[in-house]
Structure 1
Amino acid sequence: MFNSRTYIPRATIIQDIEDLTYDTRLFRLKFKGLGDCDNSSESDYEPGQFVQVSVLGMGEAPISICSSPKDKGFFELCVRNTGGVTGAMQKLEKGDEIGVRGPYGNNFAIEKATGRDCAFIAGGIGLAPLRSVIKYVTAKRADYGKLAILYGARTKEDIVFADELSQWAQIESVEVHLTIDEPQEAWTGRTGVVTTLIGEISDMSEGKCFVCGPPIMIHFTIKELLDAGWTEENIIMTLERHMKCGVGKCGHCYIGDKYVCTDGPVFTYSQINALEVEV
């Protein structure tokens, strides 16, 4: 479905749009001219990769693919309005065209988690990149041990993929734990930052833990995980850096001796330590 034209955006049709929250939308996309024969094949990207999205007159923005490679004939992007390209995308409608190039970056290397417990910790829009790998492992449920999803949002109105979180909780041996930052009317769930949920996975520290969210959330999540006995190699995260080109040429995302767009955006905590970068 994707191709190797690294530098050239490909015309892409918006098949559907779902409003997830007041400022976040889910776009279902299909490359223009993609025939029915292409729809039968599994998508050629991996959980954790991203694409560069362009809107005419607005430039480009890197956005993580949030669908699963097992989704056929389409891919999905979760876009929060932060202005610029993402702001322009909030005005688009079904049938409109955007430009997409990629996919870029490495992936969550989920094959290394086969047969093991997996925990997923997300804050805010950080659930979007993890959704790709969660959908992948739940579709191949027998290949993995216990699964746990810990998700924190600022308010109940900021929770993305609320329906899917409920659906995942119904799958055998899948736990879903939610929290919002502060008590709120009509909210009967947990309150507090997402790190307050880490005690729920105390029996999974020999497994793999995938973390995605704002830098401050990742910082304190890593600290809590290490204190709880998780090893640096088993903590996998995505790094947020200002990526421009996506192919390691512009230098915007250079850290240590790595480019986040090509060597990442997925790193183990042991790799981050070797770069002497604070998260």
Structure 2
Amino acid sequence: MQKMNPYIPVEAKIEKIITETPNIKTFVLRPKEPIPFATGQFVQITVPGFGEAPFTPSSSPYVKEIFDVTIMKVGKVTEILHNLKEGQILGVRGPYGNGYPIEKFYGKEVLIVGGGVGMAPLRSLLLTLIEQMDKFKKIVLCYGARTPEDIVYKPLFPEWKKIQGLEILRSVDKCSPYDKWHETTGVVTCLLDKTKVDINNSVAVVCGPPIMMKFTTLKLVDMKFKPENIYLSMERNMSCGLGKCGHCAIGPYFVCKDGPVFTYEQLKDEPEVWA
């Protein structure tokens, strides 16, 4: 059997586009052939004739025929993606890297902390955990956004709040009286002061902008979480996805190959970890 070229993408049709916020959209993709992934892994999305960029699927890995990617408009490729229509064709290659080690979370309390579009890979993680709720002591999700308008997956939170064993806390950095916001106002780390978890039997998972991840991680360390129990979903310029180009290096690690999920224990001594 001939080995497939890892640089050749699989065609995928845009089944649906969901506007999450003014600059974030979720694309529901149906590839020509299934692309099974583990939660936390990433794929390279190709816009034919323009380029490609890495994204972590935001849907459940238990759904095989389609998958979601949630994309913020921040550059050339993402701007082109935001201008595409349902029915158009993209390319997908992957999945790449290592996902969340779910089995290591069994029997523990799982604290998830997300910021902004960093909720995308955490949504995939959350959906994976929900499928196996009986294997975890409890799940706590702390999610922060800049404003109420910037919260992603707005219709999903009311449904998630109904799930027994899942606690959800949300915050926004700022809001106006017209926003009708009745939850916490402040940066996402302030939610950690409201959480009640058994530090000795918990793992924490963090994903979001680098500055948010930095201060959340430091807060978790102050709370006495061990570095080996803090899992970080790292973002870098993952061009090849195969550990060949070196663009995504953090110290001895390639984010595309050794990550994108790392423990803080692996990265805490690297000076470029929050770059």
Shorter-normalised TM range:
over 0.9
Deviations 1:172-231 (A, max 9, x none): 021100100013222121100000000222423221111000110011001111111111
* 1:69 counterpart residue number: 61
2:36 and 2:64 in contact (8 A); partners too? no
Aligned counterparts, 1:143-222, within 5 A: 143-185=135-177, 186-205=180-199, 206-222=201-217
* 2:229 counterpart residue number: 234
| Deviation, structure 1 residue 83 | 2.4
2:141 and 2:167 in contact (8 A); partners too? yes
| Deviation, structure 1 residue 274 | 4.9
| Deviation, structure 1 residue 169 | 1.2
1:104 and 1:262 in contact (8 A); partners too? yes
* 1:55 counterpart residue number: 47
Partner SS, residue 147 of structure 1: strand
Q: Could you tell me how far apart the structure 2 residues matched to 1:148 and 1:108 are?
A: 16
> How many residues end up aligned between the 2 structures?
269
Gaps of 5+ in 2: none
- 1:273 paired to 2:268: yes
Q: Find the partner of 1:258 among 253, 260, 264.
A: 253
Gaps of 5+ in 1: none
Partner SS, residue 204 of structure 2: strand
For the aligned residues, what is the CA RMSD? 1.5
| Deviation, structure 1 residue 152 | 0.4
Q: Could you tell me how far apart the structure 2 residues matched to 1:198 and 1:158 are?
A: 20
* 1:23 counterpart residue number: 23
* 1:120 counterpart residue number: 112
| Residues 260 and 278 of structure 1, relative CA distance in 2, 3 Å threshold | closer
Partner SS, residue 86 of structure 2: coil
TM-score normalized with structure 1 length: 0.92
TM-score normalized with structure 2 length: 0.94
Partner SS, residue 155 of structure 2: helix
The aligned amino acid for 1:272 is L
Q: Could you tell me how far apart the structure 1 residues matched to 2:89 and 2:222 are?
A: 47
Q: Could you tell me how far apart the structure 2 residues matched to 1:4 and 1:225 are?
A: 43
Partner SS, residue 78 of structure 1: strand
| Deviation, structure 1 residue 141 | 1.1
2:148 and 2:175 in contact (8 A); partners too? no
- 1:134 paired to 2:126: yes
The aligned amino acid for 1:199 is D
The aligned amino acid for 2:25 is R
